[in-house]
Amino acid sequence: MKTLRILGLTLEQATDFRSNPLSKSAGLYVALDRRYTVVDLVRPALSRAEEYLNRLRSLHPNRERWRQRRSLNMWAFQRRTAHADALIQAHAGRYDMIVQLHTLFSPGAQPERQRYVLHTDNTYRISERLYPAWAPLRGATRDAWVQYESRVYRSAQFLFPRSEFLRRSLIEDYGCDPARVIRVGGGGNFHLAPISAKRYDGQIALFVGFDFARKGGLVLLDAWERVRRTLPDAQLWVVGPRRPLRELPGLHWLGRIDDRQELARRYAEATVFVMPSIFEPWGHVFFEAMSFGLPCIGSTVCAMPEIIRDGETGLLAETGQPEPLADALIALLGDPGRAERLGRAAQASLTNGGSWDDVVGRMAPYLEQAARASTGGRRP
């Protein structure tokens, strides 16, 4: 059904998805465009003046709380929704279906009248339960947010959560019809790298993550001291934090790497990928690492057990515990044969359902069903 015309709607910096297909989440729209026709990918972001006002309205002495309040407040939600409304109207007659990414806005003031599906990785109720730092709203404001969020979910023709972990939340927390909630997974943003000649005896562990504490970085530093006592030549490369947080033997702070080719080089040179997140609704970075043949070490919460098959494509360590994490690192860095088996299995798993094309393939029957059923711009 190549004639299906899709309008993409997202706040992520992916509007140049054709010229920059390696940017975060661009892969979804690249794959949609291969199968159908993405007529445009638009971003209903706040204007510069609105962003400045939003910063003032959300002011908080704690930087992290301030950041969350800027993202999650009803004024910003409604302004983004107004921008989405205008962008959708500007494309009237040019698309058959809207594919929206995430839920920081509604696809128009009356989502019930739009033809759209939603692809996402988290809900406010999940954050509220498992990571309150991402759930800053209280009282009536919190209830209003959840009500608006629920309206976006219930008005969509179909919901495409990346994980079963999220699918349960959409059904149990928001009362969505299970028949309309289809787990489709996610993909990586790098092409599969050639690994026939890759060596696994380098003892290099790679961490990639800007939100260092949430992604288990502090636990990793505690675990690393024990790793080095057992493996004195092991190295830990950390990508993300702008400045060193602690000095340890074998620890190298690489800072923020925005150049995707430079990041690809780090993946290619590493032996193991490790990101023992305290809270990780999805974790597309694991797919990036797997595409370079790296076995992955994650933790046992959220969707990570769905991405990493423990003992087959990587290892899972108890969340927030440095000792089991050190054991997992030693097990792979100290055993090149095992690291190679798991790393090659990890890359192979991406060829069997783990690409963005596979994700779109799982979405396709529902997209086409929704497009056939839609009449007059109303949802069926």
- The CATH number of residue 250's host domain is 3.40.50.2000
Domain encompassing residue 174: 5-187+355-373
The pTM is what? 0.92
* pLDDT at 377 (0 to 100): 43
What's the confidence (pLDDT) of residue 2? 58
The pLDDT-based confidence of 13 (bands split at 50, 70, 90) is confident
Instruction: Examine the domain organization and report whether 38 and 75 are in the same domain.
Output: yes
- 296 & 265 share domain: yes
The residue ranking higher by pLDDT, 153 or 260, is 153
Residue 195 within a domain = no
**pLDDT, tens only, 207-263:** 999 999 999 999 999 999 999 999 999 999 999 999 999 999 999 999 999 898 999
CB atoms within 10 A of CB 60: 13
For residues 95 and 5, what is the distance between their CA atoms, to the nearest angstrom?
A: 5
Q: Is 196 part of a structural domain of the chain?
A: no
Q: pLDDT grade, residue 285 (50/70/90)?
A: very high
For 292-332, the pLDDT digits (tens) are 999 999 999 999 999 999 999 999 999 999 999 999 999 99
Pair 256, 324 in one domain? yes
237 and 252 Cβ atoms separated by less than 8 Å: yes
Give the pLDDT score at 376. 43
Residues 125 and 239 in one domain: no
Domain shared by 135 and 275, yes or no: no
- Same-domain check for residues 146 and 227: no
Mean pLDDT across 33-42 = 96
Shared domain check, 287 and 238: yes
pLDDT of residue 373: 80
Q: In 3D, which of 338, 310, 312 has the Cα closest to residue 324?
A: 310
What is the pLDDT at residue 354? 87
Whether 80 and 212 map to the same domain: the answer is no
Task: Examine the domain organization and report whether 129 and 160 are in the same domain.
Answer: yes
Is residue 193 a part of any domain in this protein? no
Same domain, 163 and 208: no
Q: Mind listing the pLDDT tens digit for each residue in 154-201?
A: 999 999 999 999 999 999 999 999 999 999 999 888 889 999 999 999
SS (H, E, C) 41-82: EECCCCCHHHHHHHHHHCCCCCHHHHHHHHHCCHHHHHHHHH
Distances in Å between the Cα of 104 and the Cα atoms of 36, 45, 84, 124, 166 are: 26, 10, 11, 10, 16
Whether 192 is in a domain gets the answer: no
**157 and 260 both lie in a single domain:** no
pLDDT digits (tens, 9 = 90+) for 39-91: 999 999 999 999 999 999 998 888 888 888 889 999 999 999 999 999 999 99
β-partners of residue 206 are: 237, 273
Residue 22: the pLDDT is 72
Domain assignment present for residue 171? The answer is yes
DSSP string covering 149-210: HHHHHHHSSEEEESSHHHHHHHHHTT---GGGB-------SSPPPP-TT----S-EEEEE-S
User: For residue 380, what pLDDT is reported?
Assistant: 36
Q: How many CB atoms lie within 10 A of CB 110?
A: 11
Please give the pLDDT value at position 372.
86
Helix, strand or coil for residue 9? Answer: strand
Dist CA 224 CA 234 (whole Å): 9
Q: How many domains does the structure of the chain reveal?
A: 2
**Separation of CA 273 from chain center:** 17
Interatomic CA distance for residues 182 and 164, integer angstroms: 9
- pLDDT band at residue 146, thresholds of 50, 70 and 90? very high
| Domain shared by 254 and 360, yes or no | no
In a domain, 197, yes or no: no
